[in-house]
Structure 1
């Protein structure tokens, strides 16, 4: 029998996918340098967003509709609070901060990226789209600071403690 997740655990597992999904919704977040690859890039981002959407919702599938709706409202409320803090930051810097957030969660085994899962598929597609951002020290340092602020914000919400 599969162990039942608490409401907090459901939210903690959904937030990373929600935030990545929200970031990838922005126009021009992943713009290929070669215009000939624009169609392929659009398809890659669409597939990525499908996986992120599924990753956010799949763990709520076994809940009764009222509980599922309540948790979705909580995920959205917390997610919108995080997104409001992004301000005018460059999408690449926000993406790097979210990557550090994912790394922290996987290192602490709060989030496990099971092979073949929607979240694992999404993260494997995502890294090649932004890994060049780690090359710029100033941006990387800013992203690490933003990650720490993100984690503190979420911990204030009593998540990921």
Structure 2
């Protein structure tokens, strides 16, 4: 397996970090059926464990000093993205991140290996917000916002 550059490691960690941050928001996902609330909480907790693992996987083989430096870069980059979520609905942000992730996987910048932490997290995630694809205006807006997110990150030297 080829050695990853620092930039590649950051690129691999950012999607997991952003999804982790979104799932940390209070009431990020409210099940349509109130009787499913406990199940939804358990699914979100399991997904967050996988997202945390997916964030750390690209740097786990590095020294503690190097890990810290790359994590700070991921956090700094992600904070800029997250700041733009302030006035947006959770579903809108989730759709944007989904399209961003889809672009990365379509271009094979990110590969979701079967059984990997990120693959497990995304497989739990889709059923939680799939209803958002039904609204055409929201869906097309999310696609444009995903392209904008990619342009912002490319301006920082990522996802070239």
Structure 1: 5+ residue stretches without partners: none
| TM score, norm. by length of structure 1 | 0.98
Aligned 1:115-130 pairs, distance under 5 A = 115-130=114-129
Aligned 1:35-114 pairs, distance under 5 A = 35-114=34-113
Structure-2 separation of matches of 1:89 and 1:144: 15
> How many residues are paired up?
160
Structure-2 separation of matches of 1:87 and 1:41: 24
RMSD: 0.7
State the 4+ residue runs in structure 1 displaced beyond 4 angstroms: none
Structure 2: 5+ residue stretches without partners: none
Q: Paired residue for 1:132?
A: 131
Deviates more, 1:79-88 or 1:13-22: 79-88
Structure-2 separation of matches of 1:36 and 1:49: 22
Deviations 1:96-132 (A, max 9, x none): 0100001000000000000000000001010011010
| TM score, norm. by length of structure 2 | 0.98
Displacement of 1:35: 1.2
